[in-house]
Amino acid sequence: MMTPLPVLPGSSSEAVSKGAIHNTEHCQGSVDTPQGKVSVSWHIGQQHHLDFASTGDISLTQRDIQHLSAHLPGFKPQPGNGDQPLVTVEHVQTTSHPVIEQREGAVQVMAPDNDIMPDTLPHLLYGACRVEWLRRKLFPVHAACIGDASGCYLLAGSSGSGKTTLVLEHARQHRNLPERKIISADKTLVRFTDDGQLKAVAGTKTISVRNHDMPKWEPVVSAGVAEAGKSEQSLTSVGDRTHFQLPSDYYSDPESEVPIREIVLVKLNDNFMENTLTAESARHQLFNLFLDKQREDILIGDHDAVLDGTVPREVKDYLAQKLGDYLREDGRQTRQISGPLQDVYQSIMPTLSMEVLPTDKKKR
């Protein structure tokens, strides 16, 4: 674990200054250290690990773990042998107003336990990871991703655009076309390659559905949750949403990078419409989604402290150039598709095995 940040005034514990928070390779059951703290490490993203430690009375439940998996692309309950450190997040329990200290690779939050747990923690950890991913030219796109090992479709759009519904329809198709896989349910970590490709390197596996929509998707959900031995996860509730994971065979190989065939801006509504965007129009619409500007700054407590999500200008310049080059390549298109579910899904992925679809043999 990285050298702890300086202790902030008002701390209820001297543990941080004494280096008492240690990294452990544990996960789902939080680890109580001799000093009464929790210290955990998780795999996230592309061969990285996130370390979290707290001096407070924090216990991580199965619900919390499932919620983390809905926010952090590539989340696994323990780090891999070759993982490199991405960021260390330390929570110091205090009774005063929240205070945040940040530096590259480390975040320290002083706040009451109830300002962190349960529902602020995933946003806090994602915000810390987002900054470090972007520093490494890895982009956490607010997008779902579906396809198979030969390529995938990045389904971009704002919250409420229908990305999760399209993922669930894709899961329904998987039962008859098993080559169809989910790469990511909501947030996809991507990178640009030196030869001009865009690849998905990690995604979120947990699917989040509004409670009132659950009956509609019961056949799909039951395939992954209710059938004994097919899912390690159960249904968990967070606010007005239900979280769950499908069986592992519904997802692509989590260790592989998958080339993106096409980026599609989606919106489910009543009137079908499809058009191809110019490269510049697509770049303007995608730029903020690739930076996930919607989750740039994270509020802690009663708006008393803010995790600053600002990234170096060089990251934005890099994205502007790479995204422009990618979108302008001959033969590449970005579509904007809106309409009813079946029409939009059919337009993106016709009901035909992707193995017999024509492939672009041009080297990118």
Tokens of 343: 């029409």
How sure is the predictor about 99, in pLDDT bands with cuts at 50, 70 and 90? very high
Given a cut of 90, is residue 64 above it in pLDDT? no
**Amino acid found at 305:** A
pLDDT of 30 reads 43
CB atoms near residue 281 (< 10 Å): 15
Residue for token pair 């309950």:
77
- The alpha-helical segments, DSSP class H, found in 178-270 are 218-225
Compute the average pLDDT of residues 189-207. 94
**Which domains, from first to last, does the chain contain?**
38-135 (3.30.160), 139-205+251-356 (3.40.50)
Alpha-carbon span 344 to 297, nearest angstrom: 32
Residues shown for the chain: 364
pLDDT of 80 reads 82
Residues 277-329 have pLDDT tens digits of 999 999 999 999 999 998 999 999 876 799 999 999 999 999 999 999 999 99
How sure is the predictor about 216, in pLDDT bands with cuts at 50, 70 and 90? confident
**pTM value?**
0.84
**Residue 151 class from Cβ within 10 Å (0-12 exposed, 13-18 middle, 19+ buried)?**
middle
Residues 66-96 have pLDDT tens digits of 889 999 999 998 888 889 999 999 999 998 8
Q: b vs e for 2-30, b when ≥16 Cβ sit within 10 Å of the residue's Cβ?
A: eebbebbeebebebbeeebbebbebbeeb
